[in-house]
Structure 1
Amino acid sequence: MPLPDHFRDVEQLEDVLSQPSEALIKDIKKAPGTIMVLGVGGKMGPTLARMAKRADPDRRVIGVARFSEPGLREQLEAHGIGCIAADLLDQKALAGLPDAPNIVFMAGRKFGSTGNEALTWAMNGHVPALVAQRFARSRIVVFSTACVYPFVETSGPGAPESFSPLSPIGEYANSCVARERMFEYFSQAQQTPGRLLRLSYAIDMRYGVLHDVAEKVQRREPIDISMGYANVIWQGEANERALRALAHCETPMSPLNLSSPKVSIREIAVGLGRRLGAEPEFTGSEAPSALLVDCSEADRIFGAPEVGLETMLDWTADWIKRGGASLDKPTHYEARDGKY
């Protein structure tokens, strides 16, 4: 399906975000059986679950979440996705979930981590151990984060999957290392195949690095460029790669960086300013290090992402200019102290 010039509304946006590619339709057949998305209620979960269903309409797709957002369960069910309300911290509820040969683990905690570190560690460290034991016979694709890496030089390609040791900044990032280690341990002990997807900044019109920068440009707010570079990827392609990863699981499970080549925050702001008719204001200067990942391995497996930066800038500026919806969840991409 050709990409649109802009998005009329949230309905069209979510339709495009959940559109499966021919490559996904082909790959997903290599991972037969029910797909269960744990943590389907997050920012990416609903469109990922819809994409899975559209890629193979006869397959059972189940979404698990607490479903605290009004209307989400009904929306997913209208698209043929079975929904189960469960708190993954509740071992009884977890044990009551049906078996599924394919698990996409999207549960976790980031925003609000500072000040409630115990819950953050429970969600990002304890829940993975429970899930890994409950679904020992499944393929498990785990959404992790690029935050498990320390800062690397901006002059290089970014941190590769082999980077060691994982010594990130802040409790949130270290709790994410715990998530990976729990899944790794049980994958080794139980021979559970999987992948750890170290995602860096998926882009949706309603949130993401481009959304954050565009809002600041439009409001004439200074943009901190001390974190001068980032990796971003169109959320539809992040969804697609995550689902295709079910067909590319390894035993024991291994990490895979998930994003696009690095982009300059300054250049993003200038490009958005040109489209929005506003001159961006900057504060600070680019540090020689940033949180960056090398995505060459994912590109080898899946091919290079097709949605480029210029297209995403066009979409974002149009959305912001027309007052499109926002999830009001800043990424805090500029944070260099690990506090979220």
Structure 2
Amino acid sequence: MSTAITANAAPLTAPADEQALDELLSRPLPGVGRALDALGGDIVLLGAGGKIGPTMSLMARRALDEVGSSARVVAVSRFSDPAPRELLEQAGVVVHPADLSRSESYAELPDAAGMFYLAAMKFGTTGQEHQTWWSNAAMPALVADRYRGVPSVVYSTGNVYPLSPLTRGGSTEQDEPAPVGEYAQSCLARERLFSYASHTWGTPVSIFRLNYACELRYGVIADIAEKIAAGQPVDVTMPAVNVAWQGDINAWALRSIELASAPPRLLNATGPEMVSVRRLAHWLGEEMGIEPMIVGEESADALLSDSSEIHELYGYPSVPLRRLVRWVGGWVAGGGRQLGKATKFQQREGKF
């Protein structure tokens, strides 16, 4: 039996450095180029300077190149960190610096055949509720108005759902939202505003409810690994999580523009497993050669999403859970850089 890995398949060994990691996170998966090319023009990613935007923009550029499309990929962000901007420009992505919190920025935004909205505020929302609502509710209204009628993918979050009993298996797209805390409430407001655009102006929309994306520098698995490396306890009160490799999340989000409709299409995006936080800690401890300290007692419910619909559409993650855990454990144990933005997945009262 051949063990050759195709150009689109994830390797068995972990990326050796950040350049290799970014290459893998932005490697197009099958179907991405076709979905973007079908739009027939340029695509714009708003809020492209954050954790996900740079590699998602790179994947879009690479995918369009693979199918021979000359459509532009335009990444819009303040780009307060110059490193992502340099990375994108070197790869042929058009960079458009703009502050989306300022209404005067919108007249200069480029037209597009497809729009991806990634801008949001989660971290530090407690005590900054006014900023949270402006970022997560006011800005979407400005964006929805600017891109009337343009097929759009809108990043959202599984936090719009309530905590789900472990016996139930996670919230589905058919479940009614019941957001806990102002962050989650503002995210539901973002969804409702784009839904208004869809119903009123016929804008095709796909609402992409993410919960959680992981890579080696960021995510739930990296959060747990960092605590183990620092000799800090791992709290298992939030008993279980869903996670998925960010490269797959990038590909699913880009492909989901083909599902955009009026009224909007809802799509949960995460891995197929409901994985125990305690088990993640022990797997990571084995990889890192450190016995994890566990505190807390598992609750009977957790923030969980049923992502079976996206897996039926696009398949299972290309990087399986245990491989991802090994990669993260080795990266953190080896002193690999972290982005310094904890997910706060342990939070059960919605205070971020």
Q: TM-score category by the smaller chain?
A: over 0.9
- Of stretches 88-97 and 261-270 in structure 1, the one that deviates more from structure 2 is 88-97
Q: Which residue of 1 aligns with 2:79?
A: 67
Q: Report matched runs for 1:85-124 at 5 Å.
A: 85-124=97-136
Structure 1 Cα separation of the partners of residues 265 and 96 of structure 2: 29
Q: Which residue of 1 aligns with 2:336?
A: 324
- Of stretches 34-43 and 71-80 in structure 1, the one that deviates more from structure 2 is 71-80
Contact 1:101 1:137 in 2 (8 A): no
Q: How far does residue 59 in structure 1 lie from its aligned partner after superposition?
A: 2.1
Q: Is 1:183 the counterpart of 2:191 in the alignment?
A: no
Contact 2:157 2:209 in 1 (8 A): yes
Q: How far does residue 137 in structure 1 lie from its aligned partner after superposition?
A: 2.1
Contact 2:207 2:266 in 1 (8 A): yes
Q: Report matched runs for 1:38-77 at 5 Å.
A: 38-57=46-65, 58-77=70-89
Q: Which residue of 2 aligns with 1:22?
A: 30
5+ residue gaps, structure 2, are 1-6
Amino acid at match of 2:25: L
Q: Which residue of 1 aligns with 2:159?
A: 147
Q: How far does residue 203 in structure 1 lie from its aligned partner after superposition?
A: 0.6
**1:274 pairs with one of 279, 282, 286:** 286
Structure 1 Cα separation of the partners of residues 103 and 288 of structure 2: 50
3-state secondary structure, aligned to 2:82 = coil
Q: Deviations over 1:171-214 (max 9, x none)?
A: 11101010101111111100100111000010110010000111
Q: Which residue of 2 aligns with 1:211?
A: 222
Q: Which residue of 1 aligns with 2:10?
A: 3
Structure 1 Cα separation of the partners of residues 35 and 194 of structure 2: 23
Q: Deviations over 1:61-95 (max 9, x none)?
A: 00000111123322211110111111112222112
Amino acid at match of 2:283: G
5+ residue gaps, structure 1, are none
Q: Which residue of 2 aligns with 1:79?
A: 91
Task: Tell me the TM-score normalized by structure 1.
Answer: 0.97
Structure 2 Cα separation of the partners of residues 300 and 31 of structure 1: 23
RMSD of Structure 2 on Structure 1 (CA): 1.1
Q: Deviations over 1:259-279 (max 9, x none)?
A: 012211111011111111111
Q: How far does residue 168 in structure 1 lie from its aligned partner after superposition?
A: 1.6
3-state secondary structure, aligned to 1:71 = helix
**2:20 pairs with one of 12, 21, 29:** 12
Q: Report matched runs for 1:282-297 at 5 Å.
A: 282-297=294-309
Work out the percentage of aligned pairs sharing the same amino acid: 41
Structure 1 Cα separation of the partners of residues 105 and 193 of structure 2: 20
Q: Deviations over 1:215-252 (max 9, x none)?
A: 11122211100101111010000000000011121111
Q: Report matched runs for 1:205-244 at 5 Å.
A: 205-244=216-255
Structure 1 Cα separation of the partners of residues 228 and 235 of structure 2: 11
Runs (4+) of structure 1 moved beyond 6 Å? none
What count of residue pairs does the alignment treat as equivalent? 339
Structure 1 Cα separation of the partners of residues 34 and 73 of structure 2: 17
Structure 1 Cα separation of the partners of residues 40 and 308 of structure 2: 27
Amino acid at match of 2:109: L
Amino acid at match of 2:213: A
3-state secondary structure, aligned to 1:37 = strand
Structure 1 Cα separation of the partners of residues 169 and 318 of structure 2: 19
